[in-house]
Protein backbone atom coordinates (compact mmCIF):
# COMPACT_ATOMS: atom_id res chain seq x y z
CA UNK A 1 0.00 0.00 0.00
CA UNK A 2 2.85 2.37 1.02
CA UNK A 3 4.84 1.63 -2.13
CA UNK A 4 1.73 2.29 -4.25
CA UNK A 5 1.31 5.80 -2.72
CA UNK A 6 5.04 6.54 -3.26
CA UNK A 7 4.78 5.54 -6.94
CA UNK A 8 1.69 7.76 -7.42
CA UNK A 9 3.36 10.84 -5.88
CA UNK A 10 6.46 10.33 -8.07
CA UNK A 11 4.23 10.29 -11.15
CA UNK A 12 2.43 13.42 -9.99
CA UNK A 13 5.74 15.30 -9.48
CA UNK A 14 6.90 14.25 -12.95
CA UNK A 15 3.68 15.40 -14.57
CA UNK A 16 3.73 18.75 -12.75
CA UNK A 17 7.33 19.33 -13.85
CA UNK A 18 6.31 18.61 -17.46
CA UNK A 19 3.55 21.24 -17.28
CA UNK A 20 5.88 23.83 -15.70
CA UNK A 21 8.50 23.26 -18.41
CA UNK A 22 5.80 23.44 -21.12
CA UNK A 23 4.52 26.74 -19.69
CA UNK A 24 8.04 28.17 -19.61
CA UNK A 25 8.62 27.12 -23.23
CA UNK A 26 5.33 28.79 -24.28
CA UNK A 27 6.29 32.01 -22.46
CA UNK A 28 9.82 32.03 -23.97
CA UNK A 29 8.42 31.50 -27.49
CA UNK A 30 5.93 34.32 -26.96
CA UNK A 31 8.66 36.69 -25.73
CA UNK A 32 10.81 35.85 -28.78
CA UNK A 33 7.86 36.55 -31.12
CA UNK A 34 6.97 39.83 -29.37
CA UNK A 35 10.61 40.96 -29.64
CA UNK A 36 10.70 39.97 -33.32
CA UNK A 37 7.46 41.82 -34.04
CA UNK A 38 8.77 45.01 -32.42
CA UNK A 39 12.04 44.72 -34.40
CA UNK A 40 10.11 44.20 -37.64
CA UNK A 41 7.87 47.13 -36.78
CA UNK A 42 10.87 49.46 -36.69
CA UNK A 43 11.85 48.55 -40.27
CA UNK A 44 8.57 49.71 -41.77
CA UNK A 45 9.23 52.02 -44.70
CA UNK A 46 6.70 53.34 -47.17
CA UNK A 47 7.41 51.98 -50.62
CA UNK A 48 8.88 48.61 -49.67
CA UNK A 49 6.13 46.48 -51.12
CA UNK A 50 6.49 42.95 -52.37
CA UNK A 51 6.37 42.57 -56.14
CA UNK A 52 3.42 40.21 -55.86
CA UNK A 53 1.42 42.92 -54.08
CA UNK A 54 2.03 45.63 -56.64
CA UNK A 55 1.32 45.42 -60.32
CA UNK A 56 3.14 47.46 -62.92
CA UNK A 57 0.09 49.65 -63.24
CA UNK A 58 -0.16 50.61 -59.57
CA UNK A 59 3.39 51.88 -59.15
CA UNK A 60 5.15 53.53 -62.03
CA UNK A 61 8.85 54.05 -61.61
CA UNK A 62 9.31 57.55 -62.90
CA UNK A 63 12.10 59.99 -62.23
CA UNK A 64 10.62 63.34 -63.26
CA UNK A 65 14.01 65.03 -62.89
CA UNK A 66 15.66 62.76 -65.46
CA UNK A 67 12.70 63.28 -67.78
CA UNK A 68 12.92 67.06 -67.43
CA UNK A 69 16.60 66.90 -68.32
CA UNK A 70 15.80 64.78 -71.36
CA UNK A 71 13.15 67.27 -72.47
CA UNK A 72 15.84 69.95 -72.25
CA UNK A 73 18.27 67.78 -74.19
CA UNK A 74 15.87 67.02 -77.04
CA UNK A 75 14.65 70.59 -77.33
CA UNK A 76 18.17 71.97 -77.91
CA UNK A 77 19.05 73.12 -81.39
CA UNK A 78 22.82 73.17 -81.11
CA UNK A 79 24.46 69.75 -81.56
CA UNK A 80 27.51 70.87 -79.59
CA UNK A 81 25.36 71.82 -76.62
CA UNK A 82 23.51 68.54 -76.93
CA UNK A 83 26.75 66.56 -76.71
CA UNK A 84 27.99 68.50 -73.68
CA UNK A 85 24.65 68.23 -71.91
CA UNK A 86 24.39 64.50 -72.55
CA UNK A 87 27.87 63.99 -71.10
CA UNK A 88 26.93 66.01 -68.02
CA UNK A 89 23.68 64.08 -67.63
CA UNK A 90 25.54 60.79 -67.89
CA UNK A 91 27.99 61.85 -65.21
CA UNK A 92 25.07 62.82 -62.94
CA UNK A 93 23.48 59.43 -63.65
CA UNK A 94 26.71 57.65 -62.75
CA UNK A 95 26.81 59.61 -59.50
CA UNK A 96 23.35 58.23 -58.72
CA UNK A 97 21.48 61.53 -58.99
CA UNK A 98 18.81 60.01 -61.22
CA UNK A 99 16.79 57.04 -60.00
CA UNK A 100 15.44 55.67 -63.27
CA UNK A 101 17.38 53.72 -65.88
CA UNK A 102 19.05 56.23 -68.21
CA UNK A 103 18.84 54.31 -71.50
CA UNK A 104 15.26 53.07 -71.04
CA UNK A 105 14.00 56.58 -70.22
CA UNK A 106 15.92 57.99 -73.18
CA UNK A 107 14.38 55.46 -75.55
CA UNK A 108 10.91 56.05 -74.12
CA UNK A 109 11.16 59.82 -74.61
CA UNK A 110 12.63 59.46 -78.12
CA UNK A 111 9.67 57.21 -79.07
CA UNK A 112 7.19 59.73 -77.61
CA UNK A 113 8.88 62.57 -79.50
CA UNK A 114 8.74 60.65 -82.76
CA UNK A 115 5.02 59.90 -82.25
CA UNK A 116 4.30 63.62 -82.02
* Residues lying near another protein in the complex (CB under 8 A): 19, 23, 26-27, 30, 33-34, 37-38, 40-42, 44-47, 64-66, 68-69, 71-73, 75-78, 81, 84-85, 88-89, 92, 97
Distances (CA, A) of 112 to 28, 59, 85, 106: 60, 20, 20, 10
The residue among 62 and 104 lying less far from another protein, judged by its C-beta, is 62
Q: For 91, phi and psi rounded to 5 degrees?
A: -65, -35
Distances (CA, A) of 106 to 8, 42, 103: 84, 38, 5
* Residue 78 Cβ vs another protein, minimum distance, rounded to whole Å: 8
* Residue 60 Cβ vs another protein, minimum distance, rounded to whole Å: 13
* Residue 37 Cβ vs another protein, minimum distance, rounded to whole Å: 4
Amino acid sequence: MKTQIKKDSKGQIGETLTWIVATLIIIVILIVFIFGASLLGKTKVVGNFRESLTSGKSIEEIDPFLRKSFFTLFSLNSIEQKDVLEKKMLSLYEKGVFEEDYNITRMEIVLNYNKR
